[in-house]
Amino acid sequence: MPQSKTVSIRMQKMLVGISLFLFVIKILAWYMTDSVAILTDALESTVNVVAGMIGLYSMILAAKPRDREHPYGHGKVEFISAAIEGTLISVAGLLIIYEALLNLRNPHQLHQLDVGMILMASTGVMNYLMALYIERKAEKEHSPILLSGAAHLKSDTYSTIGLLLGVLLIRITGYAPLDSWTAILFALLILRTGYTILRKSISGIMDEHDESLINDIVHVLNEHRKPEWLDVHNMRVINYAGFYHIDCHLTVAYYLNINQAHEILDSLTAILSEHFQERVEFFIHIDGCVPESQCGICRRVECMARKEAFQEEIIWTADNILSNQKHQF
């Protein structure tokens, strides 16, 4: 199993353990206070635990090597797992709103709010510290499951802070309906988080264009550009949960033989492989140049087929690299 996947799985196990521990604390706080607002936090933690377990299974499956049935690997399952998490978060938000509306109709007495606030505050601190740690690891490993988990922990922290303020107002004013209104407010925030996670996961499943990823590739290619790379066009990138499949067309001098053209191709793939730490595969088609229209943008000094002098180099951008057309004036 790749080292990056081992790290991600270890982090996910930690995430599940922390989520389970915090869930127990929040259930205890709800049991002691009978507060719907605190129940809001407890229900969200239930989602954390369930989604974390699903995510852990997905990570283990995604780490499996490519096989005959899955020629591109199993990485897409991480996007599916993130979609399940986003759905569960949204369902939890709706359940909280339902419970809060019932409580507005039949309000009940709250108890031991001081103790409940202390317990909730401790979970908020632990949540935030864990979220920062996992977020750094997730960005390094390019894991959508860890990123969604970190985003959920951060959202959980902000919810806890808001809920604490709401419970504090209830403690000061003694106005019991505030408990339900606080729960509804933060249930709406939970629904927003669920939608965001669901939206990102679906975009990954559907291979939606990733502007930041394309710009990253364009930057690397421009930084290491060689005169032999006349242009790169018709580029497409598929993200398999941190493992990238890149296909494109590379234009080289038309008179080169196959071995010479592939040496030039290898110099390009080597740079991208190093940049993505070997988490990448390529399908690159080699095109021959068209001297009548491309000599003016070619910087090759020694060229037996040059029709006109070099005029100006075209800077590669996301637009001209994605376009299915050779570069020319």
Tens digit of each residue's pLDDT (9 = 90 or more) over 160-183: 787 778 778 877 887 778 778 887
Residue 156 pLDDT > 80: no
Spatial strand order of the sheet with 280-288 comes to: 231-239, 244-252, 280-288
Between residues 301 and 43, which one has the greater pLDDT?
301
Predicted TM-score (pTM) of the model is 0.63
Give the separation between CA 198 and CA 196, rounded to whole angstroms.
Answer: 5
211-322 is classed in which CATH architecture? 2-Layer Sandwich (3.30)
- Residues with Cβ within 8 Å of 121's Cβ and at least 6 positions away in sequence, in order, are 160, 164
Between residues 153 and 222, which one has the greater pLDDT?
222
Residue 43 pLDDT > 80: no
Average pLDDT score, the chain:
82
The mean pLDDT value for 263-283 works out to 90
- Split at pLDDT 50, 70, 90, the class of 220 is very high
Per residue in 228-254, pLDDT (tens digit) is 999 999 999 988 766 788 999 999 999
The full set of domain ranges for the chain reads 3-205, 211-322
| Homologous superfamily, domain 3-205 | Cation efflux protein transmembrane domain (1.20.1510.10)
pLDDT the model gives residue 232: 95
- Split at pLDDT 50, 70, 90, the class of 139 is confident
What is the DSSP code string of 110-162?
---HHHHHHHHHHHHHHHHHHHHHHHHHHHHHT-HHHHHHHHHHHHHHHHHHH
